[in-house]
Every structure is written in C-alpha cells, then in structure tokens.
Structure 1
Amino acid sequence: MITLTVEMIVAVLKGKEEMERVIPYRTSEEWPLDVYKQFFPYKIERFTKYPHENTWEGMIIHKNQQLVIGDMGFKGGPDKDQIIHLGYSIVPGFRGHGFATEMGKAIIEWGLSQPNVKEAVATCNTDNEASKRVLEKIGFKVFKNTREKIHWHY
C-alpha cells in the first residue's frame, strides 16, 4: 500500500495519461471505482487544508503485478472520540482473492498503534456479503444493525 497523495488524485481526475505520469504503478482499468472517485474533489480540498489527514489513506498495490487494485484508509484519521473509520474497495477483477482481508489486517494493526486512536469501526450494506466476510476475517464484531447498514467495531 502507498499513500494516495493530492497530486495523484488530481492526476486521476485529469485522465489516464496524467495518471500514468504521476502514479508510480500501473493502474487497473477498473480503478478507481466510481463510488470512491466521487469523493476526490472533497479529498483534494481536505488533504490540501489538512495534510496530516492524507497519511491515513492509500492505494492497494498488487505486489507481483505492480498494479493498483484498490484503496483503503481511515477517512481522515481519528475523530474527536479517537475512533478511526475503515473504508476500502477492491476492483471487481481482483475480488475474492484475500487482498482486502490481508490489507485490512495490516492497516488495522497499524491504525490502532497510532497515537490518539482507541477504536476502529466500519460499516457495510446489509446485502454486501463480501464485505461482511472481510470484516469478520479481520476481527471486527457487529455492534448495530439497521435496515440498510451493519455497524462494526474492532
């Protein structure tokens, strides 16, 4: 995993040629997912104004292929209650191979070892079976269910 910088986010929004010039890895044709890319303007603004938040988010690199296959992070770092909020995505072509679980375990271990962090939480849609399995394998436990979301803590 490598940090996703403001320069990289701007390059993604400018197009493939700029992205290839700035990001030091090849990128999957499927990355970034639209659900993640929609937050890029907000992330540019936040990371420019609060650069320390940028250290809490990165791109997942497939080691053998040297290819960006996803993203993972803690949505800006710990909140006022010292809780980090895990978010992640893996492009469809690389799902089901344990990448999210492997990275999730590593990033949770790292995140919980940081100053001013007491707990990690995550949410997923109730019908997202893959995310439920990933969060369970990482070690998260359900603490709340709603009609649309499952809320987890570690």
Structure 2
Amino acid sequence: MNQQPCLQIETPRLRLVAVSPQLLEAETQRYTVLSTMLDAEIPEGWPPPSLIPLKPWFREQIFLHPEKTGWFLWYGILRRALSDVLILSTGFLEPPDIQGGVEIGYALMDPWRGQGLATEAALALVDWAFLHPEVRFIRARIARGNLASGRILKRCGFEHTDPDPLKPAIDRYIRYR
C-alpha cells in the first residue's frame, strides 16, 4: 500500500487489507484513489454483487468504530507478477460478542471463482480471529443450496449445524477454537 500503514495478512496468493475509514472513503470517492492506496487494480464490476446491500451498514460501522478495524471488512488482493488486483471482500459482521463469537462472510468476483481463493482468504481470517483470546467460535450463515460456500466452510474446518428456525432458507455453520 502506498498511502498509509494498515492491518494486513499475507497468504501464499493473497494480500488481505483491513478496511479502514480512509480506505472506505477512497472507495466511495473514486476507484483511482483506492487503486493507488491498495496498489492494486480495481476490476470492472467492483464490488461483488452480494456485498452491495451490506455496504451501507458496513460503512456506518467502520466510521463509528475505527478502533475496531479488522472486525468488519477486508479487501482481498490477488498478487500477480505485473499488477495486483482486488478480487474479493471478506470479513466479520462485528467484533466478538459477549459469548466470544464472530460471524464470517466473503464475496468473490466471478472471474476468480473455483480457484480456492475464497478458501485461502477465509482460512487466513479464521486464523487471525483465533489469535484474539476473546474469540471462542466463528459462525457463518449461507443461503441453503449454496454448495460452493458450504464447501469453502467445510475446507476451513466449519461444521454444519441445525437450520435457523427463524430463517429456514439459511444454513448455519460453526467452528470452535
């Protein structure tokens, strides 16, 4: 990143960058600014469509709680020889709750699906979350029938749990420390 120090996680193929208020403001203003700050190309169609309805809520949380950077959104940047590219968004819905739980999610741009990149990002965030002693478990919710997300969660060590009685179209997963 060119402009500021930030919280980052490196994996074999990815650089995960925690979304700060400054990065979020850059994304809101112009993608050229965000591209410079991340030192990565912003692909056509960014952000992933499944993230769009959640953006206002995440924006509010990130600006209200800048000290909680890392417990909300992360950018996933694929490292490439010529230029890096922003390919996914991942993160948590909120900081750990009173029971020690956090909820993970991820959204990958279509051209990069099926390459194990969402699994790589999710595993890195699971490891990061479990570095914090207050985190006892990580949960995930996905739409029933989303087999790809279910496989990602299973590869990350999550177990399928009982369906949500209030939302029968949602499958729930959990992973304990």
Identify whether the pair has TM-score above 0.5, normalized to the shorter chain.
yes
In 2, distance between residues paired with 1:73 and 1:52? 15
The 1:78–1:67 alpha-carbon spacing in structure 2 relative to 1, beyond 3 Å, is: same
In 2, distance between residues paired with 1:47 and 1:101? 24
1:139 match: 157
Deviates more, 1:82-91 or 1:58-67: 58-67
Residue identity in the other structure for 2:157:
G
1:61 maps to 2:77: yes
Select the structure that is richer in helix: 1
**1:144 Cα deviation after fit:** 1.5
1:48 match: 63
**1:21 Cα deviation after fit:** 4.3
In 2, distance between residues paired with 1:6 and 1:39? 16
Identity %: 22
**From 29, 34, 40, the counterpart of 2:49:** 34
In 2, distance between residues paired with 1:101 and 1:20? 24
Deviates more, 1:139-148 or 1:88-97: 139-148
Residue identity in the other structure for 1:53:
K
Number of equivalenced pairs: 154
Runs of 4+ deviating beyond 4 Å: none
Q: Deviations over 1:36-58 (max 9, x none)?
A: 13333322322222113222231
Q: Deviations over 1:102-121 (max 9, x none)?
A: 11112111211213111010
TM-score scaled by structure 1?
Answer: 0.89
